[in-house]
Amino acid sequence: MSESTVDPVEAIPFAVRDCALISLATGLKAQNLREFCDILQRVPLESIEHHLWGRLLQPRFDEPEYNNDFASWAYHGLHDKTLAERLSMVVPTDFADQEALRQELIEVLEERLDQCEMVPWAKKDQQFHFLRSQIVVFDSGLRFSRPVDLIPYLAHLSTGSVYYHFIDARNRTTDRCDDFSAWLAGCGPAYQPLRERLCGVDPYFSSLQNLRQIVTALFQSFFEEAAQ
Amino acid sequence: MSCTDTNGSLLLDRYAEVTGREVIHHLQQLAAPLKGAKVVHVNSTREGGGVAEILQKLIPLKRALGIDASWEVIQGSPMFYECTKGFHNGLQGMGSPIPKQLLAEYEKVNAENAEGLRSTLEEADFVVIHDPQPAPLLSHCPERRGRWLWRCHIDASHPYRPVWKYLRQWVIPYDASIFSIPQFAQPLPHPQYIVAPSIDPLSEKNRDLPLDELQGVRERFKLDPDLPMMLQVSRYDRFKDPLGVVQACQLAGKLTPLQLVLAGGGASDDPEGEAVLEEVRQAAAGDSRIQVLLLPADAHHTINALQRTADIVLQKSIREGFGLTVAEAMWKGKPVIGGDTGGIRLQVFDHYTGFLVRTPEGAALRIRYLLHRRELLKEMGRRAQRFVGENFLITRHLREYLTMLLGLQSGTQGRMELGL
C-alpha cells in the first residue's frame, strides 16, 4: 500500500473535533398540512436542519419507520403514508444549499395538498412543533497522521464526534460526504476502497452509537484485508 | 490535588464505568470554559419527587467538572404549598381559581426567602429556578449579574389559563426557560430550551442489586413467587391515575392471574397525597393480590428492588411532566405500559419498549398481551434498557445543561465554535 499512499508527513492530520447540541423551541407549531407548509416557508433554516439531522443527537428511538421528523409526523400525526414516503426520500445532500432543500420540501407538500380532497389534520395533541438547535463545536486536541492510527480510537469516539464528522460534515465538505472520506481523498488512491465503503453508509437509519460501530468496522476490515 | 478534586475524579470514574470513558471526557471538554462558574439551583423540597432526585445527583457531577454548583431550597408555609399545588394542577390543565390570600402568601413567602438568598443569587453566574414555587425570586434580586433560567418540570401543554397568566408575569423577565418536551413550551419572550430529565445509574434507586436482595423484598412484602407482578411507583396523585391502575389490574386479573404493587411516597410540597392514598386503599380493599405501599422518601433501595422484581411496570399517568419512574424501570430491563401523555411518549415507543394506553381497559389489554408473550416481554425490556442507556442517563442531561450554559454565556443562539 505504501507506494500509493501520501507520505503521512505531507498529509494534513485528521483533527478530531467534538460537538454538543441543545434543542430550542421556535414557538411555531402546525395542526394541519396547510399550516405546516406555510410555516416551513418562513421557519429558520436551522430548524429544517434540526428536523432532518439534529434529531440524531437528541433522545430518539433508533428503529424509526421514517428517517426524518417531517416524514414521521406526516405518518403518525397526519396518517398520510403517501406524504411520509415522499418526505423520507428528500435527501438533503442532493441540494446545493438549505434554501434549495426547503423549496423541494415545499414542492412535495404543495403537490400533496393539490392531491388531497381535504387538508389533512392532526389531533389536538399531535401538533408538529418546529425546533431548532444550538450546536457547540470544540477541538478534542487529537490528531492522526495515518488512517491506520484512527482504528483504536474510533470505537471510543463520543457521539458528538460521530455527529460532527459523519453528519454535520455533509454540510461542510465539497463532496457533501463525511470528514473521514474527505480526509482519505488526500491520503492517496490506496484508500479509495475505504472511501467508497464509507460513502456507502446510509446514516439515516442508525443511531450515532450504531454509526460509530459501522465506521469502526469498515476501518478494521479494510486494514485487515490490506494486511492479508 | 485537593480532596474535592480527588472525590470529583472518583465520581467521574464511577460514571465512566457505566457510560464509557468517552462520555466523561466529552463532558470534561464541554465544561472546561465554564470552570469556576457559580451555578445556583433553587427549588422547594430537598427530598421527594423527581426534581430533588435529579438535583441530588446533578450538583455533585457539576462540581466534579469544576463548576461551582450549589443548591438552595426555599421554605414555605402550608398555605404556600396549597397555592403551589394549585399552580401544579393548573399548569397540568386541571385548575380552579386560586384565592387571592393564597397568592398573597405565595408572594410573601418568596419575598421572605429572597432576604436570605439574595446575595448568593445576585452573585451567581447562572441561577436555575425549578418550577413555579420560587419563580418570583428573580423580582427580588435587582442587582443580579448572571443569567437566570426558569426550569419547568411540569406538563404545561394545556394550562388552565388564569394560572398561567398569573405565573407568566414572574417568568417573563428570565433570560431563558427550559421545558422537558417541545409540547410543554409556552409563548415567552426569551429562548426556550428543551431538556428531558434523566436518571442516575449509580443511585441507590438504580444500581444493580444482587439476587438475594430481590428475594428479601419478595419475602418482606409477601409477594407470591408464582404470580406475575405488576408495579406502579409514583406519588399518590390523581394525575398518576393509581385508581386506573387498580382497575386495569382487576380487569386483567379476571383472565390472567397476577398481583399488583402500588408503591409511593409523599412529597413535602404535595398536600393532596393523603386523600388520594385513601381512595386507592378503598379501591383495593378486599383484594389480596393488590398491595398499596406508602414508602418513606428515602426508600430508594426498596423501590429499586421492587422495580427489578416486577414483570411489567405501569405508569398510567393522565398528565406527566416526564415520568422518571418510566426511565428507571426501562433501565432495569422492564417493558412499561404508560399513559399516552407528556414525557412518557418520549420514552415508551408503542410496541417497541412498551405500550402507550389511554384507558384502564387499554392497560389491562396490554398486560394480558405481554403476559402471554413472554419472549416479547423480555425483548422489549432489553430494547428499553438500551434506549435509556443511550438517551436518558444523567450524563446526557448534564451535556445539554453545559451546552445551554455555554450558549447563554456567549450570548449567541446559533453555531458556536470554541477554540477552533
What are the residue ranges spanned by the domains of chain B? 3-198+394-410, 211-391
Yes or no: say if B162 and B90 are a contact pair by the CB < 8 Å rule: yes
Q: What's the pLDDT score for residue B60? A: 95
pLDDT for A55 beyond 80: no
Q: What's the pLDDT score for residue B1? A: 47
- For the entire predicted model, the pTM comes to 0.89
Q: Which residues pair with B233 in a beta bridge?
A: B263
Are B407 and A125 within 8 A, CB to CB? no
Yes or no: say if A122 and B180 are a contact pair by the CB < 8 Å rule: no
From the list B194, B156, B167, B154, the residue with the least C-alpha distance to B178 is B194
Q: How confident is the model at residue B97 (pLDDT cuts 50, 70, 90)?
A: very high
**What fold characterizes domain B3-198+394-410?**
Rossmann fold (3.40.50)
For residues A126 and A148, membership in a common domain is answered with no
For residues A96 and A190, membership in a common domain is answered with no
Q: What's the pLDDT score for residue B129? A: 98
For residues A51 and A13, membership in a common domain is answered with no
How many angstroms away from the CA of A49 is the closest CA of chain B? 12
How many angstroms away from the CA of B95 is the closest CA of chain A? 19
B241-294 residue pLDDT tens: 999 999 999 999 999 999 999 999 765 556 678 889 999 999 999 899 999 999
For residues A79 and A105, membership in a common domain is answered with yes
The CATH classification number of B211-391 equals 3.40.50.2000
For residues A223 and A158, membership in a common domain is answered with yes
**Mean pLDDT for the stretch of residues B192-196:** 95
B38-96 residue pLDDT tens: 999 999 988 877 788 889 999 999 999 999 999 999 999 999 999 999 999 999 888 78
**Total structural domains within chain A:** 2
Q: How confident is the model at residue A2 (pLDDT cuts 50, 70, 90)?
A: very low
Are B194 and A22 within 8 A, CB to CB? yes
Instruction: Tell me the pLDDT of chain B averaged across its residues.
Output: 93
Are A136 and B406 within 8 A, CB to CB? yes
Yes or no: say if B91 and B111 are a contact pair by the CB < 8 Å rule: no
For residues A65 and A15, membership in a common domain is answered with no
Q: Which residue of A has its CA nearest to B177?
A: A24
Of A21, A139, A157, Cβ closest to residue B22: A157
Are A127 and B183 within 8 A, CB to CB? yes
Yes or no: say if B310 and B261 are a contact pair by the CB < 8 Å rule: yes
For residues A14 and A27, membership in a common domain is answered with no
Give the residue from A132, A151, A171 where a domain finishes.
A132
Give the residue from A106, A132, A158 where a domain finishes.
A132
For residues A120 and A214, membership in a common domain is answered with no
Q: Which residue of B has its CA nearest to A28?
A: B187
Are B22 and A156 within 8 A, CB to CB? yes
Q: Which residue of B has its CA nearest to A64?
A: B349
For residues A82 and A117, membership in a common domain is answered with yes
How many angstroms away from the CA of B416 is the closest CA of chain A? 5
Q: Where are the beta strands (DSSP E) in B266-409?
A: 290-294, 312-315, 336-339, 354-357
Write out residues 325-344 of B within 8 Å (CB-CB) of A.
341
φ, ψ for residue A128, nearest 5 deg: -95, 120
Confirm or reject contact between B257 and chain A (CB < 8 A): no
Of A25, A60, A161, Cβ closest to residue B192: A25
Q: How does strand A14-30 pair with strand B192-194?
A: antiparallel
How many angstroms away from the CA of A3 is the closest CA of chain B? 34
Q: Kindly give, in sequence order, each residue whose CB lies less than 8 Å from that of residue A200, ignoring residues fewer than 6 positions away.
A: none
A-chain CB neighbours of B26 within 8 Å are 18, 20, 158, 160-161
A-chain CB neighbours of B413 within 8 Å are 24, 134
Q: Which residue of A has its CA nearest to B186?
A: A27
Q: How confident is the model at residue A65 (pLDDT cuts 50, 70, 90)?
A: confident
Q: Which residue of A has its CA nearest to B351?
A: A63
Q: What's the pLDDT score for residue A203? A: 85
Cell of A173: 465538505
Domain span at residue A55 reads 21-132
Q: What's the pLDDT score for residue B394? A: 96
Q: Where are the beta strands (DSSP E) in chain A?
A: 14-30, 128-144
Q: What's the pLDDT score for residue B223? A: 96
For residues A33 and A93, membership in a common domain is answered with yes
Q: What is d(CA B367, CA B362) in angstroms, rounded to the nearest whole number? A: 9
Q: What's the pLDDT score for residue B390? A: 87
Q: What's the pLDDT score for residue B395? A: 96
Are B29 and A18 within 8 A, CB to CB? yes
Other C-beta atoms closer than 10 Å to the C-beta of A114 total 7
Of A125, A127, A136, Cβ closest to residue B418: A136
pLDDT-above-90 percentage for chain B: 82
**Mean pLDDT for the stretch of residues A152-168:** 93
A-chain CB neighbours of B400 within 8 Å are 20, 22
